[in-house]
Every structure is written in C-alpha cells, then in structure tokens.
Amino acid sequence: MLDLTPDEWEALALSIKVAFWATVASLPLAVLVSYALARWRFPGRSALDALVHLPLVLPPVVTGYLLLLTFGRQGPVGQFLESWFGIVVSFRWTGAALAAAIMSFPLMVRAIRLSIEAVDRRYEHAGATLGANPIMVFLLITLPLALPGLLAGSVLGFAKALGEFGATITFVSAIPGETRTVPATIYGYLQTPGGEDAALRLSIIAVAISMAALLASELISRRLPSRSGT
Amino acid sequence: MLRVEIHHRYAPDTAFGSAPQGGRAFDLEISFEAKGPVVALCGPSGAGKTSVVNAISGLLRPASARVTLGNETFVDTAAGRFVPPHRRGIGSVFQDGALFPHLSVRQNLAFGTWFRTDAKGAMGSAEMARLLGIEHLLDQRPATLSGGEKQRVAIGRALMARPRLLLLDEPMAALDADRRQRILPVFERVRDEMKVPIVYVSHNLDEVARLANDIVWLEDGRVRAVETGMTHVEPDRPIAPRLH
C-alpha cells in the first residue's frame, strides 16, 4: 500500500531525525521554562510567557526569517557558533531541528506547565521539611509527579516538529537529504505535474503519525490526575 | 524552650502564596514562649494556627519574626537570619499526611534519611514501621491506605528524619473518634520515649488536655491566652490512692 520511493523514505527518516532531536534537545529548557512559569514570580514573567507563545501566533515565515537573521552565517549568533564551535546550522539538518524546536516549544511548555501546576505543593513542602533541598525536591518529587505531562508534552512537541514547514523552509530551505522534510517533500510534489499521488501517500502518513501522537499524548496526560491525586 | 514572635500581614488578594483567610487582609501579631515538651496551638478556624506552624517550619517567611528553639535561631529578621526549611530539622505532619503518591510506604518512611549524612542512632524503616503498627503496609502505595494508616506513615516519615521538633497540624482532623483514640498513644510515645518536643495544632480539647504541657490560645491572628506548665499523670502511677 505504501510503496515509498527512496526519496520519500529519505524525507521520512530525515523528518523523524529532525523532530527527535528538536524534542530531546529542547526538553530540558522546556521543563525549566515551564517550572519558572508555574512556580516562580519574577519581573518579566508575563514577557517570558508571551515570548514562549510567540511562535504559536507569529507567521512561521517570520520565525524562519528571524532565525535566518540571527542564526544564519551572517547573523550574530550564527557567526559566533561558527567561529567558536565550528557549528553551522543554516541550510543544515541541525537548522531544521532548531526551527522545529522553536515552533513546537509553546506546545511542550503548555503541557508541561499544566502538569507542574497540578503537583500539590504540600508534597514539595513535605519534602523540604524532611531535609531535601530545592533541587532534590524538584528531582525526587515535582519531576516524577509531573512525568506524565512531560511525556505528553514531548509527544505533542515531536508531532508538531514532524509537521513543521514554514519556518523550516524559510530558514534552511529544502535540500534533499539535508533539510527536505516530509512537509517540504509534499509541497514539492504538489508543485510538480503528476506529483499528486506521491503527495497523497506522504500526506496519509503525516496524518497517521499526527493522529497517533495526539492520541498517545491524550492517553498519557489522562493518567495525570491518578498519579498526583491523594 | 520555644520562643515565637511573628509580625506578618497577608495582602488582601487571592494572589499566590498570600491571604489564606478567604482573600481578606489578615494581620498576624503573635508572640509566645513555651517550655513544652508539648505545646498546643488552639483557637477557631482562621485564628492563624497554620501560619504559626508554617513560620516555625520555614514554609512561611514572615515580614518580621524571631523563632528560636533552645539556643537554635531559625528566623531572626532583625539580624537578617532565615534558615530555609530543609536545614531546620523540623518535622511536619500535615492534615491528611501528604504522603508522596509516587513512592511506596517504605520509600516514604526512608525519604528523610536520604538527606542525613549522620546515620548514627537512626532507626530503620522496619523498626519504625513496627513501632507504628504499619509493617504490613511497607510495600504499598499511599493511595491504597486508609486515613489512619496514612497518618501513621506520615508520623513515621517525619520521625525517621530525626527532627529536633515535630509540628503536628491537626494531624487527626480527617480521622473518626475511634482512630483518634488509637493514634493518640503514638504521640504520647513520641513525647515520652523519643523525647521529641511537639507543637500540636488542634480543635479537640480532649486531645490537647491529654498531650499538652502548654496551651497557646489564638484568635484572629493574636494570642488570647497562654497556659503553661501542665503536667501529665503517668498511667502506671494512678492518682486514685491520693484521693483518700
């Protein structure tokens, strides 16, 4: 049924690689930001909240363009990364992962933040009175209790990263084998006469993966109340 | 000797961490001294009992306060001293136990011992469980326990960390009279055998009369009355012979 051409397999494998690293690499920061938004009161909290959500409402092409300006070879961060670490992200798969990570970040933070807010603070207080310092309280109490939300957020973020198109194609274009992910491949087929069949095949796969991810995320987060409840 | 002096104002809003009394502004002006070993905090709901307990444990950081136990100073805002809760060594038993739901009873009991470098004189989980009559529950999760069992585990968990003071904030509020009667002796053993001083918050005057040496009566964020130096007659030395 799904007789994919080598090109399509390549796009699928690349998409999964990009989405996987986008999710894994941004997870620690997502947890930190979620925790800060859920538990800390500090100046600029609203601004941070807005900044995190910005990619959700900004036209993806704008996000991609801003990435190009900052992380491109001429951009300040891009130049710094290249001259100090020899890392180039523009027009590389790592750049695609960066774009996907930024676009899926708001979804991850929303899910993780909700699960952290759902952790009863009395457990954290109890941990502190038993001698656990704030880091131990976070690692031994908050994090395990928020784990379902962390997983749900990661799955959701992975699915979103898998489908990212606008920012990715603006930032790193669609180079076969390097940055041409599934959405870019579908778009390419639609621009080519006679490419509809291939576009449909890949679209079905995209729908299936996205549905599976949403269901998995929903199933995991439904376990949340039973975990943190008394 | 426990000395507590707290001046704190809860802002009149429902924002995070403030105004527990239904969102209205609330002033706390508390000052008392108690010898113990068991100090009872009594008074109607909203009197500030839990705030006092939280100020002692460090979960509340009052605007101005001085809290000392013996020669240990936990808070002295005038001297800029505030010892964070995890360094105070003060155990707390919360109303419904607040057991960690993701850990087994055994792990809950052991939690406090993970952060103590001095294992000297520490009681094992098994020994504590035997003392509290919860040996058969060690491998269970808190969700499967009854209210009375949860409270026993919570008491054991607090004691395992070998606290220098134990705060009991209405520890039996969620229990029926029968279970209260069965847990009360546990507190007496803590007082008499383990020699851990206790601050006991309760509405129940019978419990207070049975356990406490000092009673601090709070009302509307202030100390209304203090009664100190009550002694308890040991059950094996009945007072009856003295009556004739």
ipTM of the complex: 0.83
Instruction: Please indicate whether, in this complex, the C-beta atoms of A127 and B111 are within 8 angstroms of each other.
Output: yes
- Between β-strands B64-69 and B72-76, what pairing exists: parallel, antiparallel or unpaired? antiparallel
Residue A208's Cβ-count burial label (10 Å; 0-12, 13-18, 19+) is exposed
The minimal CB distance from B157 to the residues A130, A136, A145 is found for: A130
Q: Which residue of B has its CA nearest to A125?
A: B59
Q: Is A45 on the interface with B (CB under 8 A)?
A: no
The minimal CB distance from A126 to the residues B94, B102, B116 is found for: B94
Instruction: Please indicate whether, in this complex, the C-beta atoms of A144 and B102 are within 8 angstroms of each other.
Output: yes
Mean pLDDT, residues B116-123 taken together: 62
Q: What was the pLDDT predicted at B232? A: 62
Q: How confident is the model at residue A57 (pLDDT cuts 50, 70, 90)?
A: very high
Which residues in chain A have their CB less than 8 angstroms from residue B86's CB? Answer: 128-134, 136-137
Instruction: Please indicate whether, in this complex, the C-beta atoms of A131 and B115 are within 8 angstroms of each other.
Output: yes
Side-chain-side CA neighbours of A68 within 13 Å: the count stands at 15
Which residues in chain A have their CB less than 8 angstroms from residue B164's CB? Answer: none
Q: Tell me the Cα Rg of chain B.
A: 18
pLDDT tens string B203-239: 888 888 888 888 898 888 888 888 887 766 544 444 4
Instruction: Please indicate whether, in this complex, the C-beta atoms of A129 and B85 are within 8 angstroms of each other.
Output: yes
Predicted confidence (pLDDT) at residue A70 exceeds the cutoff of 80: yes
pLDDT tens string B67-92: 999 888 999 988 888 999 999 989 99
B178, two tokens: 């029968």
Q: Is A118 on the interface with B (CB under 8 A)?
A: no
Q: Please, what sign has the CA dihedral across residues B34, B38, B43, B45?
A: positive
Determine which of A47-51, B149-153, B227-231 has the lowest per-residue pLDDT on average. Answer: B227-231
Q: Give the residue from B99, B62, B42 showing the smallest Cα distance to B225.
A: B42
Residue whose pair of structure tokens reads 């052991």 in the numeric block: B110
Write down the pTM of the prediction: 0.82
What span, in angstroms and rounded, lies between the C-alpha atoms of A94 and A101?
10
Listed in sequence order, the DSSP H helices in A72-165 are 76-85, 93-117, 121-129, 134-137, 143-163
B222 DSSP β-pair partners: B29, B219
% pLDDT > 90, chain B:
16
* Spatial contact of A108 and A19, defined as CB atoms under 8 Å apart: no
Instruction: Please indicate whether, in this complex, the C-beta atoms of A129 and B92 are within 8 angstroms of each other.
Output: yes
Predicted confidence (pLDDT) at residue B106 exceeds the cutoff of 80: yes
The minimal CB distance from B86 to the residues A128, A141, A145 is found for: A128
Q: Is A40 on the interface with B (CB under 8 A)?
A: no
Mean pLDDT, residues A84-101 taken together: 90
The minimal CB distance from B85 to the residues A122, A128, A136 is found for: A128
Predicted confidence (pLDDT) at residue A100 exceeds the cutoff of 70: yes
Interface of A with B in 134-153 (CB under 8 A): 134, 136-137, 140-141, 144-145
Q: Check whether the bond before B37 is cis (ω within 30° of 0).
A: yes
Which residues in chain B have their CB less than 8 angstroms from residue A132's CB? Answer: 86, 111, 114-115
Instruction: Please indicate whether, in this complex, the C-beta atoms of A131 and B100 are within 8 angstroms of each other.
Output: no
Instruction: Please indicate whether, in this complex, the C-beta atoms of A123 and B100 are within 8 angstroms of each other.
Output: yes
- Between β-strands B38-42 and B90-93, what pairing exists: parallel, antiparallel or unpaired? unpaired
Which residues in chain A have their CB less than 8 angstroms from residue B101's CB? Answer: 123, 145, 227-230
* Spatial contact of B60 and B8, defined as CB atoms under 8 Å apart: yes
